[in-house]
Amino acid sequence: MKTARASLDRPLVTDAHANPELRDRVRAEAENRPGVYRMWSADDRLLYVGKSVRVRTRLLSYFRAPKGEKPGELIRETAQIDWDYVPDEFGALVHEMRLIQRHRPKYNVQHKRKRAYAFVKVTREPAPRILPASTVVDDGSTYFGPFPKVGRIAHTIRDLAHALGLRDCPASTSVFFDDQLDAFSGLAAFDRPPGCIRADLGTCLAPCSGRPSARDYRERVRIGTRFLEGRGDRLLEELRTRMAEAAQRRDFEYAALVRDRIERLRRFQEELTAFRGQVEALTFVYRVPGHEGRDRIHLVRSGRLRATLAHPKSARARRTAAERIEAVFGEFEPGPAGLSAREAAEIFLIARWFRLRPDELRRTRPPGEWLDAKRPA
Ligand code: SF4
């Protein structure tokens, strides 16, 4: 990727029209090619990241922007401009978004807003919890998602925790198991009363009072994790059994409560599976026309851009590309969990690109098909 730079070693300009040197340098050095550009302040703060299919024209337009409007204000604060030529619009879009998310420039609005994605978090604690989360942090927890709306999943996650008997009390609650002594008080487990009513309602195994064994609690977490991975119906089967038993003893109120819970969890699992399928479908080699016939291939796996290569024209280049494709698509990935918020944003960006441009999908090929067609004999 070629990087060019136009800069001025002089104080911040106060009037775009009084900055002819920077403008002249852009005019002399920038080409009308697709690219991503960055505008820097005199004290080296990144003010703005933008993209254009015609970098030179776009940059020069800032110098004509009237005072009082955002582009005019921006160019008044700009002391340096640099840019990368990115041969195609898709590559430029992803590159721009990554830069904005990394640097959070003052004048960018799009991609900088913290969009409220929702994740389901299985904590890494002696007695793990399953909780809704709006951000992913590196705390050892396992995250599932992203989901577009936080509010909608909170209720379902509560259902899930209650159905599994997992706790949802604060992390500070001390927990221990029936084969342990309380590490804090040294009392036997059964000496401590439960910390909340969920133990009496039967919706929590109550590790706060040492009721379950560590093994039983872990097994409930495992069932929940499999449910979130879209594997295994055990949880829903258990709930159906509970509902039937309640109906048999004519406890229709409880049976109706369990029925509604089953329905919410079933719908949630369907959504999970559908969403995962949509993300997995965004796995392909995407060929795009590049500047002056220099086509590119983007390697998109599970909705994220993993690498971009020049479209190979010689047998040797095809061999190199094949090796890269095998490496990118063959590498082990630990399933649907473990996405960061930035990665989630990229999935939504790429999904949107193809949703708005369905014709572009015709340029994509599954990696195996690409390899079969292009691999040198
Ligand atoms: S019963 Fe105990 S472990 Fe369960 S949620 Fe309440 S306080 Fe937490």
Q: Which residue has the tokens 């505008």?
A: 39
Long-range contacts (CB closer than 8 Å, 24 or more residues apart) made by 98-105: 98/342, 98/346, 99/36, 99/38, 99/49, 100/49, 101/342, 101/345, 103/46, 103/49, 105/38, 105/46, 105/47, 105/48, 105/49
Instruction: State the pLDDT at residue 199.
Output: 93
168 C-alpha vs ligand 1 centroid, how far in Å?
A: 7
233 C-alpha vs ligand 1 centroid, how far in Å?
A: 25
| Domain coordinates in residue numbering, the chain | 3-103, 118-279, 282-374
Instruction: State the pLDDT at residue 377.
Output: 54
Instruction: State the pLDDT at residue 8.
Output: 43
Sign of dihedral through CA atoms 198, 202, 204, 209? positive
Q: What six digits make up the tokens of 340?
A: 């960061």
Sign of dihedral through CA atoms 95, 55, 324, 274? positive
Q: Which residue has the tokens 């994740």?
A: 119
Instruction: State the pLDDT at residue 2.
Output: 46
Mean pLDDT by 10 residues, the chain (377 residues): 47 50 90 91 92 91 82 87 88 90 84 68 94 80 75 86 96 86 53 87 93 94 90 89 95 94 89 81 92 87 93 90 93 66 82 92 93 72
Assess whether the C-beta atom of 196 lies below 6 angstroms from ligand 1: yes
Provide the 3-class DSSP secondary structure of residue 19.
Answer: coil
Assess whether the C-beta atom of 317 lies below 6 angstroms from ligand 1: no
Q: Cβ distance 307 to 324 under 8 Å? A: yes
193 C-alpha vs ligand 1 centroid, how far in Å?
A: 10
Q: Cβ distance 212 to 205 under 8 Å? A: yes
Mutate to test the pocket of ligand 1, among 123, 157, 196 (most ligand atoms within 8 A of CB): 196
Instruction: State the pLDDT at residue 59.
Output: 93
Fold of 3-103: GIY-YIG endonuclease (3.40.1440)
366 C-alpha vs ligand 1 centroid, how far in Å?
A: 48
Assess whether the C-beta atom of 194 lies below 6 angstroms from ligand 1: yes
Instruction: State the pLDDT at residue 70.
Output: 83
